[in-house]
Amino acid sequence: MTTINWGLIGGGRGSQIGPAHRLAARLDGLYNFTAGALDHRAEEGRAYGQELGLEPSRSYGDWREMLAGESARADRVDLVTVATPNNTHFEITKAFLEAGFNVLCEKPLTMTPKEAQSLIGVARESGKICAVNYGYTGYALVRHMRAMVARGDIGKVRMVFTEFAHGHHADAADADNPRVRWRYDPEMVGVSAQFADCGIHALHLATFVTNQRVERLSADCVSLIPSRTLEDDAMVNFRMSEGTVGRLWTSSCALGRQHGLGIQVFGETGGLRWTQEQPNQLFYTPLGGRTQIIERGEGGLSPEADRSSRVTIGHSEGMPLAFGNIYSELATAIHALKAGQTPDLGLVPLVEAGADSISAIAAVARSGNNNGQWVEL
């Protein structure tokens, strides 16, 4: 297979998520990092791109320049990752799809349900791939959980408990730091802060593992740091399409917690438990039996888990490798598209999943502003 030219927008020096994308895209030798518009400051973005090995002519000062430059090239990038702050996702993703590029957009896909619906249309019309980086679904054992649920290992799923609660924005004295502040600024993030930033990962994980959609929810949203107009903590109850009861907690003020993403699924004949900080073990308890530890890399796992695992059992695989599984499946799909075939997007979260999350964000804000009233998505 020839390597795919890949471009990155955002993810500049010191950014949180840029390094994970650069590692993930190049992990399996499937992509060349060829172009970028890495920073909101043109000169800083150009300089950093060149430090990372981009040709000067392809280390762009901003994304519009990159769109024009790459559109004009025969060897243009085939996949563009959008890793900028949330309020830019819609405009950049739409422009690149319309110009015929495949796009992997960071979550949340857009700021409003209307924009998300419009992107579904743009993506379908373009015939290109529009994926959303719910990268934690790339973990081998998350995929194994999904396979276990699908084949009935824990019976009908009664309840799912999912959380994404960290403590990194708990310092009231640091609330005005620009790196923190944008995450709570309605201009930058829309109607929700912590739920839109982290809660949607937890909610998406619930839909991914159970293969159900969220139908309605009730949210209790609070600002534990009073200067914030948007929530930094939320408890969300939800109901899923096959009747599963959902509970979700998200917080950025949970001091002592680091990443804090995890999921538990409780069925009629068994339970499963997985956390992002120990991603190589999955805990399985059959009804009436002892808790078993399923190790990533052991024999006899599902095909989804086997193909998502690179190193042998006993060695840790972490987040960039999970993101790498999204990139490798996108590479296979892009090669299929280029060959005129229908791509198999496997387990990659697509624009429709991104749009579901945006509906959930709107519903959480609506419910949170109405004393936790239940609302339909």
**Given the rule CB under 6 A, which residues bind ligand NAI?**
9-12, 15-18, 37-40, 62-63, 83-86, 88, 106-107, 133, 135, 179, 197
User: In sequence order, what are the residues at sequence separation of 6 or more whose Cβ sits closer than 8 angstroms to the Cβ of residue 99?
Assistant: 67, 71
Nearest approach, Cβ of 133 to ligand NAI (angstroms)?
A: 5
Nearer residue to ligand NAI within complex by CB, 131 or 272: 131
CB 231 within 8 Å of CB 192: yes
**Shortest approach of ligand NAI to residue 148 CB, angstroms?**
24
Q: How far apart are the first and last CA of the chain?
A: 42
Residue, CB closest to ligand NAI? 12
31 versus 136: smaller Cβ distance to ligand NAI:
136
- Strands 261-267 and 270-275 turn out to be antiparallel
Are 249 and 235 spatial neighbours (Cβ–Cβ below 8 Å)? yes
Local structure of 305: helix, strand or coil: helix
Nearer to ligand NAI, 54 or 83 (CB): 83
Nearer to ligand NAI, 17 or 337 (CB): 17
Judged on CB neighbours under 10 Å (0-12, 13-18, 19+), 308 is buried
Closest to ligand NAI by CB, 294 or 360: 360
* Least distance between ligand NAI and beta carbon 326 (Å): 10
Beta-carbon contacts of 355 under 8 Å, excluding residues fewer than 6 positions away, are: 109, 110, 113, 116, 117, 119, 120
C-beta of 11 vs 271, nearer to ligand NAI: 11
Contact indicator for 194, 252 with CB cutoff of 8 Å: yes
Of 22 and 144, which CB lies nearer to ligand NAI in the complex structure? Answer: 22
Least CB distance to ligand NAI at residue 261 (A) = 9
CB 55 → ligand NAI: shortest distance, Å?
18
Q: What angle do CA 325, 328, 331 make, to 5 degrees?
A: 150
Q: Which of 41, 68, 38 shows the shortest CA–CA distance to 50?
A: 38
Burial of 339 (0-12, 13-18, 19+ CB in 10 A): exposed
Enumerate residues 6+ apart whose C-beta is below 8 A from 260.
163, 164, 165, 166, 167, 198, 251, 254, 276, 277
CB of 150 to ligand NAI, least distance (A): 24
Which is closer to ligand NAI, CB of 114 or CB of 179? Answer: 179
* CB of residue 263 to ligand NAI, shortest distance in Å: 15
Nearest to 225 by CA among 147, 171, 145: 171
Smallest separation (angstroms) from ligand NAI to the CB of 111: 11
